[in-house]
Amino acid sequence: MIMSDQSFAGRLQSALTDAGYLVQLATSLMAGLIEARETPPSLVVVEDVLPDGRGRDVVRRLRVNGDVPIFMLTAWDVPEETVALMHLGADQVLVKPVVVAEVVARIGARLRRHERHVRLLSYGLVVWPQRHLVTFQGQALPLTKTERELLMVLLRRVDQPLSRSEIAQELWPDDDAVRQSNVIDAHMTTLRAKLRKVQLPEFIETVRRVGYVIRHASMEALLEPPVIAPDAVE
């Protein structure tokens, strides 16, 4: 979020956090661009009037190198203005005052469509479902198909502990035998080892007598960029 209206920004940030999203707030154009560069977002909400420029400049710059969804908040209820902002690259233009719950709902709908292409987990770690790829700081991680899918299953249920049986049902819905074995634990061990190899902090938790979970709080901790050894990624 790149917003100078602290009252609305606070309410929107709180609502998005409650909905399970990891939210970073910048209050100026330059701070927002720096944040977007250092921690590539899944979606950007930007206010058109900022202390050091216009939100449309953010849209223009972000569109140079990427296709991240962008929501623009503006006080101008003028059709020509909306058209101009969308031509610049805004995916949606919302006229203030706007209901926080509506913004959250629109963000959820847009992300559900966008995550078919790319899902951001944390600083530098990105899952690309259609490309069958997981990258860390721009380099592909050598994960197997099962390890990638295991990561995606947990990402879709942040803060929801999943049993080994539930995970197996997602990965192998037609194989009842797998749910009675230690196959999930074996794949989890190799996945964690590969994530540790690039010096990522542990963010997949083991829930005793249940299974595994990715916590929202653990994802927040990953926002501090880890130190990567030059030969850490093969």
Integer Cα distance of 124 and 207 in angstroms: 26
User: Given this chain, do its domains 6-114 and 119-221 carry the same CATH topology?
Assistant: no
170-208 in b/e burial notation, b at 16+ Cβ within 10 A?
bbbeeeeebbeeebbeebbeebbebbeebebeebbeeee
Rounded-to-integer distance, Cα 114 and Cα 134, Å? 16
Residue 81 exposed, middle or buried by CB count within 10 Å (0-12, 13-18, 19+):
middle
Q: How far apart are CA 44 and CA 46, in angstroms?
A: 6
Model pLDDT, residue 114: 61
Q: Are 204 and 188 in contact (CB under 8 A)?
A: yes
Nearest in space to 41 (alpha carbons), one of 27, 56, 26: 26
Which helix (H) or strand (E) element contains residue 185? helix 183-197
Report whether 95 contacts 75 (CB < 8 A): yes
For the chain, the domains span: 6-114, 119-221
Both tokens of 80, joined, read: 């020509």
Q: Return the CATH class of domain 119-221.
A: mainly alpha
Taking only the tens place, the pLDDT of each residue in 63-122 is 876 778 899 999 888 888 888 888 888 999 999 889 999 999 999 888 777 655 455 555
One-letter amino acid for residue 60 of the chain: R
Q: What is the pLDDT of residues 159-217, one digit of tens each?
A: 889 999 999 988 888 777 666 668 999 999 999 999 999 887 788 999 998 999 988 76
Q: Which residue has the higher pLDDT, 25 or 40?
A: 25
Q: Indicate the pLDDT class of residue 41, thresholds 50, 70 and 90.
A: confident
Q: Residue 70 phi/psi, 5° resolution?
A: -130, 125
pLDDT: which is higher, 157 or 73: 73
Task: For residue 97, say if its preceding peptide bond is cis, omega within 30 degrees of 0.
Answer: yes
Domain at 6-114, CATH from 2.30.250.10, 3.40.190.10, 3.40.50.2300, 3.30.70.120: 3.40.50.2300
Q: Is this structure's pTM higher than 0.85?
A: no
Asked if 86 and 60 count as a contact pair (C-beta separation under 8 A), the reply is no
CA distance 53 to 10: 21
Which residues neighbour 205 within 8 Å (Cβ) at sequence distance 6 or greater? 212, 213, 214, 215, 218
Q: Which residues contact 179 (CB under 8 A, 6 or more apart)?
A: 164, 165, 168, 169
Report the Cα–Cα distance between both ends of the chain, in Å, rounded: 34
